[in-house]
């Protein structure tokens, strides 16, 4: 009985910490219509800042809290709303998702630069000591966290429903024009909401830092509030009491499962369960609860759809692209960089390019935000390595089919989800796969999985040049397929689903089938890319398909243009080049890039000032063609390779 009470107290404390972060999410969404994916990263920065001030420099705790909460979080929240979020008026829900993801990777990138991950940091309790109650010892720190959470929930509830500023905060999203007529500034109210959200995130990070007995970890602290995401979804992003109760319930469930279930299962499985629990709760909340009507930030604007390259143009451009690749293979066949050949790096570019094409299909065309393409890529590489050692086309087919099947299974319960909710669901799946499946010693093991080069009768792709050309051929074929689908009736249906799901369903078309089909096809493409990536690298491991690199790559594609084939290729190229030259700068580049083009819904290739300098755009007076031209492909491959070599 004493153990049960001890577990209960700790679970309530943990849930209280989640509740603080979750209420911050609710406040931000209520006052701006934006779900802040960077909430955990803000809490992580606050936790490390608290360690820096209190532990490293011995600043008094109260002074440190004033610096972090009043000065740091408040100013940061105001700046984010003024510089980033206010620029997104007129945007659909997809763009704020990308911008807040960009902010998240910027903060994690900065944290890795300021606080070396190799140094262990632990945070002590704010209040030391304990007291006895019902035969158990309760830490004063636990009581503090619970009390703060209750005070925050009661205070915010009273603010929103019993004060004039609270009414204004809730009205700013629903009808900003009417709010302005009443004498309140919509921009100022939205800014206050972001300030409150950042303060709640920082407060939860500081309070939960002391629960990390093994030390502060950048990724772990960033993802620690994922359970808070689930609580906010249960509260339908608007109900603070329900959000608080859900957070406490999740904290209790995690602690009970961790202490009553995990010790009685095999050790590896127990670790998988522990790692996957937060994401499982989030996924269950998303697919079982009624969806909240997503609100756009401001008035929706109509985007020009990029011109579709004709079949003949696609064939010619693809042929020229492959010819340029052959030239690159001849020029750089023996050139090495950092222990690998440029052609191996080129093969990685082409494999990632196929992943980018899958994003063009599922996100660019149909508007379904997927953050788990790297997960399908990792599953595909695993299947490729296990089927015939990766040395046959059977492995490629198996990887594609398995990932397409898993993609369909994931899509089925998320048919009714869109934009934010689908992004959260795929994020939950990606993290669960990375922390439960890929880390299992029976999957990739400590040394990774070996993947052999493909051997066909009379043909061998054992050399780097032949391997590069084979993967390039698959990229060209995938690009042809994506463009052919875009020109087809199915492609027009994808655009219709993206533009207006309600209108699509009203005319009698099956929206569920279309969503499942495109998600399965995109998952299969990512699985194929993973199999090809494995044949290029010849050995793949857990770190190749982690959550954050997958999110960063989505941002790279969005930066260039998630609606064009050219954007997919350039994203893969810049991702690989930057990863070789400055690996720690990937997140910063992605985050800063996505923020800088916050007004450019079509990415860099959709900026009018760039389009007017492209001859095929001037000639046709239309948007960017959806296939890399000879000039673009040649400059990108040869120029990029030369830049790496130098």
**Cβ–Cβ under 8 Å, residues 227 and 247:** yes
Contact 272, 440 (CB under 8 A): yes
pLDDT of residue 560 exceeding 60, the answer is yes
* Residues making up the chain, counted from first to last: 646
pLDDT single digits (tens) 443-491 = 776 677 888 888 776 666 668 888 899 999 999 999 999 999 998 888 8
Statement: residue 357 has pLDDT above 70:
yes
Radius of gyration of the chain (CA): 25
At 327 the pLDDT is: 92
Nearest to 499 by CA among 557, 418, 617: 418
Q: Which two tokens stand for residue 529?
A: 């890319």
What pLDDT is stored for residue 32 in this prediction? 79
- What residue ranges do the domains of the chain occupy? 2-114+136-288, 311-645
Rounded to whole angstroms, the Cα distance separating 45 from 53 reads 12
CATH fold match for the domains 2-114+136-288 and 311-645: yes
Domain 2-114+136-288 in CATH 1.10.3470? The answer is yes
Task: Find all residues with CB under 8 Å of 192, minimum gap 6, and list them.
Answer: 31, 165, 169
Q: Which CATH class is domain 311-645?
A: mainly alpha
The alpha-helical segments, DSSP class H, found in 84-185 are: 94-114, 140-162, 164-174, 176-181
DSSP code of residue 600: -
Q: Facing residues of 456 across strands? A: 459
Q: Is the pLDDT of residue 573 over 90?
A: yes
With both helix axes pointing from N to C terminus, report the angle between 420-432 and 267-288 in degrees, rounded to the nearest 10.
170
Would the pLDDT of 524 be above 90? yes
Predicted confidence (pLDDT) per residue in 300-344, tens digit: 444 555 667 778 888 898 999 999 999 988 888 778 887 788 888
Give 338 or 514, the one with higher predicted confidence: 514
pLDDT of residue 409: 87
Q: Summarize pLDDT for 262-305 with one digit per residue, the tens.
A: 787 776 677 667 767 777 788 787 777 665 444 444 444 445 55
- At residue 349 the predicted structure's pLDDT band, cuts being 50, 70 and 90, is very high
Per-residue pLDDT reduced to its tens digit, 180-203? 777 777 778 888 889 998 999 999
Residues 75-130: tens digit of each pLDDT: 999 998 888 887 766 555 567 888 888 899 889 888 988 898 888 888 888 888 88
pLDDT confidence bin for 419, thresholds 50/70/90: low
Average pLDDT over every residue of 2-29? 86
Distance CA 458, CA 130 (A): 75
With 90 as the cut, is the pLDDT of residue 222 above it? no
Please state the rounded mean pLDDT for residues 204-217.
Answer: 85
Whether the predicted pLDDT of 623 surpasses 50: no
Which residues does residue 133 pair with via DSSP β-bridges, in sequence order? 136
Tokens of 416: 């009714």
pTM for this model (two decimals): 0.84
pLDDT tens-digit readout, 358-403: 999 998 888 888 899 999 999 999 999 887 666 778 889 999 999 9
Cβ-based neighbour number of residue 405 at 10 Å: 14
Half-sphere exposure of 242 (CA within 13 A, CB side): 10
């Amino acid at each position: 009985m004493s153990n049960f009470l001890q577990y209960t107290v700790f679970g309530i404390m943990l849930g209280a910490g989640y509740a603080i972060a979750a209420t911050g999410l609710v406040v931000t969404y209520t006052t701006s219509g934006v779900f802040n994916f960077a909430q955990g990263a803000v809490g992580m920065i606050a936790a490390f800042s608290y360690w820096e001030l209190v532990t490293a420099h011995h600043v008094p705790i109260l002074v440190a809290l004033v610096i972090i909460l009043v000065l740091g979080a408040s100013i940061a929240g105001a700046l984010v709303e003024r510089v980033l979020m206010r620029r997104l008026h007129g945007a659909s829900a997809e763009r704020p998702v990308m911008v807040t993801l960009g902010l998240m990777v910027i903060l994690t990138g900065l944290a890795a630069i300021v606080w070396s991950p190799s140094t262990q940091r632990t945070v002590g309790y704010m209040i030391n000591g304990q007291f006895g109650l019902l035969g158990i010892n309760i830490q004063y720190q636990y009581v503090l966290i619970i009390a703060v959470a209750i005070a925050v929930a009661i205070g915010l509830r009273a603010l929103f429903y019993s004060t004039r500023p609270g009414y204004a905060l809730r009205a700013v999203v629903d009808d900003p024009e009417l709010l302005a007529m009443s004498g309140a500034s919509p921009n100022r109210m939205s800014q206050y909401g972001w300030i409150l959200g950042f303060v709640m995130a920082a407060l939860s990070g500081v309070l939960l830092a002391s629960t990390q007995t093994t030390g502060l970890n950048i990724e772990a602290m960033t993802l620690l509030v994922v359970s808070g995401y689930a609580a906010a979804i249960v509260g339908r992003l608007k109900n603070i009491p329900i959000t608080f109760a859900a957070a406490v319930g999740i904290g209790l469930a995690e602690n009970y499962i961790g202490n009553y279930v995990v010790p009685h299962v095999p050790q590896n499985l127990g670790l998988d369960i522990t790692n996957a629990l937060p994401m499982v709760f989030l996924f269950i909340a998303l697919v079982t609860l009624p969806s909240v009507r997503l609100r756009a930030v401001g008035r929706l604007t109509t985007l020009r759809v990029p011109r579709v390259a004709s079949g003949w143009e696609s064939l010619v451009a693809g042929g020229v692209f492959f010819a340029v690749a052959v030239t690159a293979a001849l020029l750089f066949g023996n050139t090495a960089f950092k222990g690998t050949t440029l052609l191996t790096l080129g093969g990685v570019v082409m494999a990632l390019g196929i992943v980018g094409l899958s994003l063009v299909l599922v996100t660019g065309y149909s508007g379904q935000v997927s953050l788990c393409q790297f997960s399908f890529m990792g599953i595909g590489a695993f299947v490729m390595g296990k089927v015939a050692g990766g040395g046959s086309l059977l492995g490629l087919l198996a990887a594609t089919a398995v990932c397409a099947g898993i993609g369909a299974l994931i899509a089925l319960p998320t048919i009714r989800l869109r934009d934010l909710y689908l992004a959260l669901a795929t994020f939950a799946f990606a993290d669960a796969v990375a922390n439960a499946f890929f880390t299992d010693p029976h999957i990739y093991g400590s040394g990774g999985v070996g993947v052999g080069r493909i051997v066909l009768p009379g043909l061998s792709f054992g050399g780097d040049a032949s391997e590069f050309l084979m993967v390039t051929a698959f990229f060209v074929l995938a690009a042809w397929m994506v463009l052919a689908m875009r020109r087809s009736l199915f492609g027009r249906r994808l655009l219709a689903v993206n533009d207006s799901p309600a209108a699509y369903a009203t005319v009698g078309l099956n929206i569920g089938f279309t969503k499942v089909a495109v998600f399965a096809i995109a998952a299969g493409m990512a699985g194929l890319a993973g199999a090809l990536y494995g044949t290029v690298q010849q050995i793949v491991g857990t770190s190749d398909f982690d959550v954050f690199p997958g999110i960063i790559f989505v941002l790279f594609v969005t930066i260039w243009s998630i609606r064009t084939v050219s954007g997919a290729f350039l994203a893969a190229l810049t991702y690989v080049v930057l990863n070789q030259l400055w690996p720690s700068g990937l997140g910063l580049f992605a985050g800063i890039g996505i923020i800088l083009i916050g007004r450019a819904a079509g990415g860099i290739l959709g900026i009018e000032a760039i389009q007017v300098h492209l001859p095929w755009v001037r000639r046709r007076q239309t948007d960017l063609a959806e296939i890399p031209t000879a000039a673009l492909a040649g400059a990108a491959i040869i120029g990029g390779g030369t830049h790496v070599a130098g």
